[in-house]
């Protein structure tokens, strides 16, 4: 079975721009979660989608949004980029939303200049 | 104060020794606890999870949970150089919180 895939793998943007990241979960997985990882703050939970509905949300500003499609693929959007948004963005999928069965993708590394 | 605190290390142990990684959490409502291993430049991978007080063993790994003290630990027995990585502790109650990780180096 193919693993979680994320595109693009690397991205450079400038302040004020917006960006959309994509995540394709493992086949059959209905839950997709997004995380931000930075050296200073570590790994932080952004949000979780299950069957196209946002089920849980972390403490991030409204500039961070996401959605999930009927095929379980998910996108994450960040508007009005700030320098502090430079990070590794990870998505993880699981069949049912349980953390015990969650697998991470390789991540998208975003650099904001 | 972060929801999950870990000693950032680095922690160095000789090959074959026991590595002990510790973590405290602040949300008493947390119900489940996780340990992830993250190699440099790679994604986290789940190695242990624990819900109940006490010990849970899986191969060379033992997770320990003490809810009264809000303390979680991971013991790695017979440490191998391949165990060299950053270990992330996480708690889940209403939300999923991660520590910043402990860097472990196993010296051959």
* pLDDT value at residue B38: 96
Question: Are A42 and B95 within 8 A, CB to CB?
Answer: no
pLDDT tens string A32-82: 999 999 988 899 999 999 999 999 899 999 999 999 999 999 999 999 999
Tokens of A50: 């299950």
**Banded pLDDT at B7 (limits 50, 70, 90):** confident
- The whole-number average pLDDT for the span A25-33 is 95
DSSP state of A26: P
pLDDT confidence of residue B9: 80
Q: How many CB atoms lie within 10 A of CB B3?
A: 17
**Closest-approach residue (CA) in chain B for A45:** B96
Residue B95 in this model has a pLDDT that exceeds 90: no
Strand positions, DSSP E, A25-112: 31-38, 42-50, 53-57, 64-68, 74-78, 87-94, 103-104, 108-112
Distance from CA of B104 to the nearest CA of A (A): 16
Evaluate if residue A2 carries a pLDDT over 90: no
Are residues A69 and A57 in contact, defined by beta-carbon separation less than 8 angstroms?
Answer: no
Q: In this complex, is the C-beta atom of A106 within 8 Å of any C-beta atom belonging to chain B?
A: yes
As a whole number, the mean pLDDT across chain A is 95
pLDDT digits (tens, 9 = 90+) for B39-94: 999 999 999 999 999 999 999 999 999 999 999 999 999 999 999 999 999 999 87
Does the pLDDT at position A106 exceed 90?
A: yes
Which of these, B82, B77, B80, lies nearest to B58 by C-alpha position? B77
Residue B1 has pLDDT above 80, yes or no: no
Identify which of B73, B80, B103 has the alpha carbon closest to the alpha carbon of residue B10.
B103
Q: Which residue of B has its CA nearest to A40?
A: B100
Q: Which pLDDT score is estimated for B48?
A: 94
């Amino acid at each position: 079975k193919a693993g979680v895939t994320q595109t693009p793998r690397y991205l450079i943007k400038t302040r004020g721009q917006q960006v959309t990241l994509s995540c394709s979960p493992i086949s059959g997985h209905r839950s997709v979660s997004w995380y931000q990882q930075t050296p200073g703050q570590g790994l932080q939970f952004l949000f979780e989608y299950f069957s196209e509905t946002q089920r849980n949300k972390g403490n991030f500003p409204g500039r961070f949004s996401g959605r999930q499609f009927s095929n379980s693929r998910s996108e994450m959007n960040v508007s009005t980029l700030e320098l502090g948004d430079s990070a590794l963005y990870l998505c993880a999928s699981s069949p049912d939303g349980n953390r015990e069965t969650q697998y991470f993708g390789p991540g998208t590394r975003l650099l904001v200049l | 104060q972060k929801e999950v605190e870990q000693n950032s290390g680095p922690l160095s142990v000789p090959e074959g020794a026991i590595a002990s990684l510790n973590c405290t959490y602040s949300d008493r409502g947390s119900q489940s606890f996780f340990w992830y291993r993250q190699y440099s430049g790679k994604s986290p991978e789940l190695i242990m999870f624990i819900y109940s007080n006490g010990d849970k063993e899986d191969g060379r790994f033992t997770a320990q949970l003490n809810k009264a003290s809000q303390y979680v630990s991971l013991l790695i027995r017979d440490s191998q150089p391949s165990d060299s990585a950053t270990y992330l502790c996480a708690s889940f109650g209403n939300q999923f919180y991660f520590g910043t990780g402990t860097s472990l180096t196993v010296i051959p």
